[in-house]
Amino acid sequence: MSKLIASSAIRGAHSLYNKAEAAYNAALAAKGADQPVSFPDTAYYLPVAYALLAIKVKTLGDIQPVLAKAKSMLPDIPAEDAWLPYLGNTLDSGIAALLSEEIIEAMKYVMGPNPVEGIWLGATDDVIVRTQGIKLVDGSMPGFAAVVGAAPTTEEAVKLATELRERNILLFMAGETDGKTMADQLNEAGVEMGWDVYLVPFGRDISAAVYALGVAARAAMTFGGITPGGMKEAREILMYNKNRVFAFVIALGDVDDEKYATAAGAINFGFPVIANTDIPQILPTGITTYEHVVSNVPLDKIVDTAVEVRGIKIKITKIPIPVSFGSAFEGERIRKEAMFVEFGGQKSPAFEYLRMRDMDDIDNGKIEVIGPEIDQMEEGKAYPLGILIEVAGRKMQSDFEPVLERQLHHLVNGAEGIWHMGQRDMNWMRISKSAHEKGFKIEHFGEILKAKLMDDFPAIVDKIQIKLYTDADKMKEVLEEARAAFIARDERVAGLIDESVDTFYSCTLCQSFAPNHVCVISPERLGLCGAYNWLDAKAAHEINPTGANQPIIKGETIDERRGQWVGVNELVRAKSNNSVQQVNAYSIMEDPETSCGCFECVVAILPIANGVMVVNREHTGETPVGMKFSSLAGSVGGGAQTPGFLGVGRQYITSGKFIAAEGGFKRIVWMPKELKEALAGQLKKRSEALGLPDFVDMIADETIGTTEEEVMEYMAKVGHPALEMDSLLG
């Protein structure tokens, strides 16, 4: 805690209190205690006093207890040689300052001069608070800034106002620097002001800044449903503001005692202070979400700094690209004849890589094309393209890198006339002739990714910068880094086993049609739709804490071999509406997991063959179990436990936990050729890991037979290991 700030704030609070008391006494002498006092058109009396003290000021006489309370909160002014002020004292003096300022302003309504004069708007009525509050709640207005003082020049004032308005941040103005206010500056420059244009000049005096807190206090009472009553409610009102009203103070120019005191008042609401002058900082967090006072910020960085320090999320409503964007365009293909240029696809070096950086290492929003732009490219040719996305966020984790990176496919495909497939350094992109004609450039890849990643993942992405390499030499270094990262990620995923974590995730996305189905997603068993693995579910939970993916603390192990835990059972019981009592994550025979309807594959036992078959959704032919996929799906799905049948994601087939309770991978006796080919690499790897390098060839497919008898003949011929295993039926 800076002694300088504390001392100044306390002195400022004393000064404001004295002014309030003098104004009050003058009004009382002139008008008497019964004189009505109110701000125009509000049901919240003097809103700050009402919110914090539950005092309903209706007459001059009602102000007495407010003054008394303000006085009681005034700490003694610290002596020059004493080192005593603490945050608590400063915060108290901030409250005393706000209460005093509100009285000062209220006395203007009683005695004049009318605070509404010229450009100044004075107190805010309830309808405006409600109308603007809706924008705060729905995020279309991400927050508000209270500017005290004036910018060094009129041009800088206009620029600051423009920067805030571009982000839809409402700007309140009060207080002057050397006789000038920011509102004066905007007025001189001919900038129109008012609530409709997000520029609100409250008043010339610093005391008018209290109107901003009056808006904040009423937002909490109106939208937070908090009725003032005492300390508890006052605290709730302050907490509501801290957590939901993303406001901050910008202090321009010299910060005098009264401004310090007002700023201390704002800190009580969780509103940090950003200053362009070299005032002492209060960096440790506590009352505000992040830092309290950040100073010496150049004017052109002040908005970004404020946005970061307050944790404000800006909504991008329209992506600035010359082609349409939407999921309707995701499915379009661009054939060679329609293509202007292409990238990757074995024709040129290309990659896409997203990595996490520190907050300070990111120049937020910057998009850089390193190498030639599209106007230097020739029709029909392939060019290098490396996409490096760097993100930072206070809640970002390196585990979320691949989750975000994978979004690139559907995000880029969302643009009309742009086509993407593949991932990592095996991607392939095309820009169509029509998109090129409309003016689509390489930099627009950056615009899409910036806008969508910020907008779709506000919980984890605070800042983003994007580099687009179209120069093969210049991308080399980053490509090497990317490849190293891909290897490291694969190792991380390979090293992630169920035993290494204590938390699994539930997925109940499918309950709309399978009301009792719950997927239990563990590192070694992904969701049966194949779309959500453990890392995805973890990220999804971080992004949407009330969504379909909830953490499951495994709890005590009931059966290690079959994969049964106390915590998992409890969750499945609750989420399945009590219809499933227990599940074994690794068993197909005893209490298997339920299936919804979206499984990529069905695993079914072949009792005579003593093994299992796996059939994928795409396979339309007969299978040895006597049913096609479609009939099988009907008997497996719907959220019921069906021993002997299991809906699974493809990746689970080669997992170490694949029906481990029944002997695992070696039980597989049949799968369609197409599936074998699609998973060839992984199947081989898993076979080798089990010491059975030729195992994949022992698995029959439809070219060998589609009856259990034919499969058994083949098994005998190749010596399939399932023949030697314990009977499946026990």
Partner 1 sequence: MEVKETYNGKIREATIGLGDTAVTVGGETSLPLYMFEGAAPNKPVIALEVYDTKPEDWPEAAIAPYADVLDDPVKWALKCQDEYKADMICLNLASTNPSTGDRNGADIAPIVKAVADAIKIPLIVYGTANADKDAEVMPKAAEACQGKRALIGPVEEENYKTVAAAALGFDHLAAPHSPIDVNIAKQLNILITQLGLAPERVIIDPTTGALGYGLEYCYSVMERLRLAAMTQNDSMTQMPMINQIGREVWKAKEVKTSEADEPAWGDAETRGVLWEALTATALIMAGSNILVMRHPKAVELTRQFVAALTGATN
Please report, as ranges, the residues that interact with partner 1 according to CB under 8 A.
127, 130-131, 133-134, 137-140, 222-225, 244, 508, 511-512, 515, 546-548, 577-578
DSSP-derived secondary structure letter, 627: S
Contact 353, 385 (CB under 8 A): no
CA atoms within 13 A on the CB side of 113: 9
In 3D, which of 684, 676, 664 has the Cα closest to residue 725?
A: 664
Q: Decide whether 140 or 153 has the Cβ nearer to partner 1.
A: 140
Q: Decide whether 413 or 508 has the Cβ nearer to partner 1.
A: 508
* Cα–Cα distance for residue pair 287/275, rounded to 1 Å: 18
Residue 312 C-beta: closest distance to partner 1, Å? 16
Residue 418 C-beta: closest distance to partner 1, Å? 25
Distances in Å between the Cα of 618 and the Cα atoms of 421, 574, 625, 629, 649 are 20, 33, 17, 8, 13
* Cα–Cα distance for residue pair 48/129, rounded to 1 Å: 14
Residue 637 C-beta: closest distance to partner 1, Å? 17
Q: Decide whether 137 or 501 has the Cβ nearer to partner 1.
A: 137
- Return the residue matching tokens 């919804």: 596
Q: Decide whether 38 or 511 has the Cβ nearer to partner 1.
A: 511
Q: Show the beta-strand stretches assigned E in 450-600.
A: 463-469, 503-507, 519-521, 551-553, 557-559, 564-565
Residue 138 C-beta: closest distance to partner 1, Å? 4
Residue 226 C-beta: closest distance to partner 1, Å? 9
Residue 512 C-beta: closest distance to partner 1, Å? 5
Q: Decide whether 315 or 357 has the Cβ nearer to partner 1.
A: 315
List of residues 6+ apart from 154 with CB closer than 8 A: 185, 188, 189
- Return the residue matching tokens 């439809």: 702
* Cα–Cα distance for residue pair 608/646, rounded to 1 Å: 18
Residue 467 C-beta: closest distance to partner 1, Å? 33
Q: Decide whether 7 or 508 has the Cβ nearer to partner 1.
A: 508
Residue 87 C-beta: closest distance to partner 1, Å? 29
* Cα–Cα distance for residue pair 35/12, rounded to 1 Å: 29
Q: Decide whether 244 or 366 has the Cβ nearer to partner 1.
A: 244
Residue 533 C-beta: closest distance to partner 1, Å? 22
Two structure tokens written together for 91? 């915060």
* Cα–Cα distance for residue pair 144/160, rounded to 1 Å: 13
Two structure tokens written together for 299? 């004017």
Q: Decide whether 508 or 687 has the Cβ nearer to partner 1.
A: 508
Check whether the bond before 228 is cis (ω within 30° of 0).
no
Q: Decide whether 137 or 566 has the Cβ nearer to partner 1.
A: 137
Contact 43, 73 (CB under 8 A): no
